């Protein structure tokens, strides 16, 4: 008798017993899309490292049967940079949340993109700090009610796509959890990209976000994304509007710039070549 096996079962880390994600959460959708992308590209998963920070999305690195590192809050990107720079042949992917990557870790995002370190960053943006019980964060929409905005949020949310484009990411895309298939295609593109790539997936968080905004069922947020999202066909981040009524999704940046680890290796090689040619141990005064 044949046993039914999920096609992505082979990617699940053995022994990882519990998943902390709530029913209706879309983190599973994003992880699914990531694994399908890896599967379809036929990548060697022993040469991949998944790094994440703290929060719900940050648990992703534990669930997948690849090398994984679970950093401190906000520090997934610099850990990933260290891994990538030390071993450039590895495909280093960061999956984490909006609070982790853009509040406490915002500075690292800025500089990894500016340097164009060839890591791939997938941000699951669920508008709040879910794991700690639904506090407002850097992407919380104006007026939203959360445990720390009992009278409505009065802070302007970050537009992650425009931020990523401004600081030099070579690939930038935004999708919502509704856009299954599109997410996967963007992740495939990002995984094959040499430089810094960023994908925002606007996620469903019925338990902590939705239910406080009169969208208590998972389908409520999904219907919101379906109704409000508009696919942009232009590579133009200025069109990446994000309001309650209109969420512009699609690809916004797809360019090539010299990648950081290649630049470093280039410098190292030419310096060593010069020393060898001149028969010297060093050019530096001690």
> Which of 35, 49, 93, 165 is in the footprint of other proteins by CB under 8 A?
49
By the 8 A CB rule, do 83 and 112 touch? Answer: no
Q: Would the CA dihedral through 32, 196, 200, 157 be positive or negative?
A: positive
Q: Which is nearest to 37 in space by CA: 93, 86, 77?
A: 93
| Token reading at 280 | 């010297």
By residue count, the chain amounts to: 286
Interface of this chain with other proteins, residues 50 to 109, rule: CB under 8 A: 51, 61-62, 65-72, 74-75, 77-87, 89-90, 107-108
Q: Could you say whether residue 263 binds other proteins (CB under 8 A)?
A: no
Q: Is 99 helix (H, G, I), strand (E, B) or coil?
A: helix
Q: Which is nearest to 135 in space by CA: 177, 94, 104?
A: 104
Tell me which stretch binds other proteins (CB under 8 A): 15-23, 145-153, 228-236, 250-258: 15-23
Q: Could you say whether residue 42 binds other proteins (CB under 8 A)?
A: no
For the stretch 16-34, what's the b/e string if a residue is b when 16 or more beta carbons lie within 10 angstroms of its beta carbon?
eeeeebeebbbbebbbbbb
Interface of this chain with other proteins, residues 106 to 135, rule: CB under 8 A: 107-108, 110-111
Spatial distance between the Cα atoms of 43 and 247, rounded to a whole number of angstroms: 32
Number of residues binding to other proteins, judged by CB under 8 A: 51
> Which of 1, 3, 5, 15 is in the footprint of other proteins by CB under 8 A?
15
User: Which backbone phi and psi does 195 adopt, to 5 degrees?
Assistant: -90, -170
**Least Cβ distance, residue 151 to other proteins (angstroms):** 32
Nearer residue to other proteins within complex by CB, 2 or 18 = 18
Q: Could you say whether residue 271 binds other proteins (CB under 8 A)?
A: yes
Spatial distance between the Cα atoms of 149 and 140, rounded to a whole number of angstroms: 10
Q: Could you say whether residue 249 binds other proteins (CB under 8 A)?
A: no
| Token reading at 10 | 């082979």
Residue ranges that bind other proteins, judged by CB under 8 A: 13, 15-17, 45-47, 49, 51, 61-62, 65-72, 74-75, 77-87, 89-90, 107-108, 110-111, 264, 267-268, 271-272, 275, 279-284, 286
């Amino acid at each position: 008798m044949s046993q039914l096996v999920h096609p992505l079962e082979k990617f699940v880390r053995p022994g990882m017993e519990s998943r902390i994600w709530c029913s209706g959460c879309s983190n599973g959708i994003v992880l699914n899309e990531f694994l399908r992308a890896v599967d379809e590209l036929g990548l060697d998963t022993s040469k991949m490292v998944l790094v994440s920070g703290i929060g719900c999305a940050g648990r992703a690195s534990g669930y997948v049967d690849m090398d994984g590192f679970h950093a401190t809050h906000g520090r997934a990107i610099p850990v990933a940079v260290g891994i990538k720079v030390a071993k450039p042949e590895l495909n280093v992917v960061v999956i984490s949340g909006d609070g982790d990557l853009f509040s406490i870790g915002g500075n690292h995002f800025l500089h990894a993109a500016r340097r164009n370190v060839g890591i791939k960053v997938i941000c699951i943006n669920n508008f709040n700090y879910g794991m700690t019980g639904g506090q407002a964060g850097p992407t919380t929409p104006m007026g939203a009610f959360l445990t720390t905005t009992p009278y409505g949020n009065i802070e302007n949310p970050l537009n992650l796509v425009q931020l990523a484009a401004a600081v030099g990411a070579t690939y930038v895309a935004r999708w919502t959890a509704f856009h299954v298939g599109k997410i996967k295609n963007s992740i495939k593109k990002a995984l094959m990209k040499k430089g810094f790539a960023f994908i925002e997936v606007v996620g469903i968080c019925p338990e902590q976000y939705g239910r406080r905004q009169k969208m208590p069922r998972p389908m409520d947020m999904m219907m919101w994304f379906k109704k409000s999202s508009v696919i942009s066909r232009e590579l133009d981040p200025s069109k990446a509007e994000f309001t309650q009524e209109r969420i512009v999704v699609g690809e916004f940046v797809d360019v090539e710039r010299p990648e950081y680890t290649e630049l470093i290796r280039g410098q190292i090689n030419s310096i060593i070549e010069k020393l060898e040619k001149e028969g010297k141990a060093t050019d530096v005064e001690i």
